[in-house]
């Protein structure tokens, strides 16, 4: 059974199932969904909790299965959480998860919580994943699109009785807030909570928001990739400045940009050979929101354009590592800016 995250609260009010599978890479939203299920479970008498984190090829799945079959002397109901941060259970894990799926409907004593990262299409089609989805409630936890972030912030403010001004002034305040946190929901959540401590319920002026959240930006190399592929030059410049100010390694930023260029080139070559887009993106390990960005970029780019970008990435690589390249800036961050701008411009062409 598939359940949207927005439907979880209503679902829990109607009652608990014995197996929940949560998939996603957004820590804040994953934690909130898990907390909601645990709270409902505690109210229903699930007093014990065991947690197993799958790590390494030698992980003991027998201990997980045994945990589901053993109850404490102090409680007749328990929560068993199985965390798979890598999303790949292996042969033994696949069998164990299918066994858990089979056991989940046989009794009400054990509530299983399985957490996974965002999965690609091939993994979602695997036997163990299909078994879990059939037996339990599968909840994909989606991130918040950059364009939707201002309204997400507004809804979170409303939960604590606060709001921005009506009209354009309020819209600008929300956009400012979104720009400062750069898509980092944990950072946004912290700053929203800070506003609840600083100011009473009611309307917030932009000056109040600015004074509370200014200089809290958490810049992220992977968010830079999203901005570049979206063709957002101003945002790319702001993020590069922020990454440099925060002490990010120039070589790491270069790797992210160069890896996107290489993936685009490989994908373009595969498409030219007649492979369908879904297969190409899966082979390049592109999924989620990045699928749409890559599809749009590939439609805009030509083979010669990507060849020139690869050459530029090679030149910037030398500068980042201390070499000089004629016609390029000597400063690594200026070279990264040139490379990023070329790729961004190509994505918006």
- Give a three-class secondary structure readout of 30-52: HHHHHHHHHHHHHHCCCCEEEEE
What's the confidence (pLDDT) of residue 181? 81
Tell me how far apart the alpha carbons of residues 298 and 271 are, in angstroms, rounded to a whole number: 9
**305 pLDDT more than 90:** yes
What's the confidence (pLDDT) of residue 75? 60
What's the confidence (pLDDT) of residue 260? 93
Among all chains, which residue has been given the structure tokens 């679902």? 11
**134 pLDDT more than 80:** yes
What's the confidence (pLDDT) of residue 215? 52
What's the confidence (pLDDT) of residue 147? 87
Q: How confident is the model at residue 77 (pLDDT cuts 50, 70, 90)?
A: confident
What's the confidence (pLDDT) of residue 217? 54
Q: How confident is the model at residue 171 (pLDDT cuts 50, 70, 90)?
A: very high
Least confident interval from 10-14, 104-108, 260-264, 318-322: 104-108
Q: How confident is the model at residue 218 (pLDDT cuts 50, 70, 90)?
A: low
CATH number for the domain running over 221-348: 1.20.272.10
The residue among 65, 127, 118, 63 whose CA lies nearest residue 90 is 127
Tell me how far apart the alpha carbons of residues 17 and 2 are, in angstroms, rounded to a whole number: 13
Across 153-159, average pLDDT: 95
What's the confidence (pLDDT) of residue 72? 54
What's the confidence (pLDDT) of residue 190? 86
Cα dihedral sign, 89-93-96-98: positive
Which residues neighbour 53 within 8 Å (Cβ) at sequence distance 6 or greater? 83, 85
Which residues neighbour 18 within 8 Å (Cβ) at sequence distance 6 or greater? 104, 105, 107, 108, 110, 111, 112, 136
What's the confidence (pLDDT) of residue 114? 95
For the chain, the domains span 5-140, 161-213, 221-348
**216 pLDDT more than 80:** no
What's the confidence (pLDDT) of residue 309? 95
CA distances in angstroms from 308 to 62, 155, 302, listed in the order given: 53, 44, 10
Across 186-201, average pLDDT: 89
Other CB atoms within 10 A of residue 21 CB: 25
Which residues neighbour 317 within 8 Å (Cβ) at sequence distance 6 or greater? 254, 258
Across 154-183, average pLDDT: 90
Least confident interval from 77-86, 122-131, 147-156, 182-191: 182-191
CATH architecture of 5-140: 3-Layer(aba) Sandwich (3.40)
> What is the per-residue pLDDT across 102-131, written as a single tens digit (0 to 9) for each?
887 666 788 999 999 988 888 888 999 999
**265 pLDDT more than 80:** yes
What's the confidence (pLDDT) of residue 88? 86
What's the confidence (pLDDT) of residue 200? 93
Does 5-140 match 221-348 in CATH topology? no
Q: How confident is the model at residue 214 (pLDDT cuts 50, 70, 90)?
A: low
The residue that leads in pLDDT, 170 or 282, is 170
Contacts of range 199-202, beta carbons closer than 8 Å, 24 or more positions apart: 199/162, 201/160, 201/161, 201/162, 202/161, 202/162, 202/163
pTM above 0.85, yes or no: no
* Burial label, 188 (beta-carbon count in 10 A; 0-12, 13-18, 19+): buried
Q: Interhelix angle for 250-272 vs 233-245, to 10°? A: 140
Other CB atoms within 10 A of residue 338 CB: 16
């Amino acid at each position: 059974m598939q359940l949207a995250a927005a439907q979880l609260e209503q679902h829990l009010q109607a009652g608990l199932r014995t197996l929940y599978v949560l998939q996603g890479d957004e820590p804040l939203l994953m934690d909130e969904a898990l907390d909601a299920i645990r709270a409902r479970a505690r109210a229903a008498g699930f007093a014990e909790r065991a947690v197993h984190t799958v790590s390494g090829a030698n992980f003991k799945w027998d201990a997980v299965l045994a945990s589901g079959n053993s109850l404490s002397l102090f409680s007749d109901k328990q929560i068993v959480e199985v965390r798979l941060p890598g999303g790949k259970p292996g042969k033994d894990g696949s069998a164990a998860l299918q066994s858990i799926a089979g056991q989940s409907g046989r009794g009400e004593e054990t509530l299983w919580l399985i957490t996974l990262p965002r999965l690609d299409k091939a993994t979602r089609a695997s036997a163990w994943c299909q078994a879990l989805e059939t037996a339990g409630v599968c909840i994909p936890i989606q991130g918040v699109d950059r364009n939707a972030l201002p309204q997400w912030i507004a809804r979170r403010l409303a939960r604590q009785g606060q709001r921005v001004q009506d009209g354009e002034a309020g819209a600008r305040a929300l956009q400012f807030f979104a720009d400062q946190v750069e898509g980092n929901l944990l950072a946004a959540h912290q700053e929203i909570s800070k506003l609840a401590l600083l100011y009473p319920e009611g309307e917030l002026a932009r000056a109040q928001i600015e004074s509370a959240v200014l200089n809290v930006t958490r810049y992220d190399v992977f968010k830079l990739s999203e901005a570049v592929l979206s063709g957002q030059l101003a945002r790319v410049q702001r993020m590069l400045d922020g990454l440099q100010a925060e002490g990010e390694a120039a070589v790491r930023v270069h790797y992210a940009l160069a890896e996107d260029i290489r993936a685009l080139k490989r994908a373009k070559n595969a498409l030219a050979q007649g492979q369908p887009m879904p297969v190409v993106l899966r082979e390049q390990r592109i999924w989620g929101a990045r699928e749409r960005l890559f599809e749009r970029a590939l439609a805009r780019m030509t083979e010669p354009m990507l060849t020139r970008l690869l050459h530029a990435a090679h030149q910037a690589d030398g500068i980042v590592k201390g070499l000089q390249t004629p016609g390029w800036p000597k400063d690594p961050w200026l070279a990264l800016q040139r490379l990023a701008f070329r790729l961004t411009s190509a994505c918006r062409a």
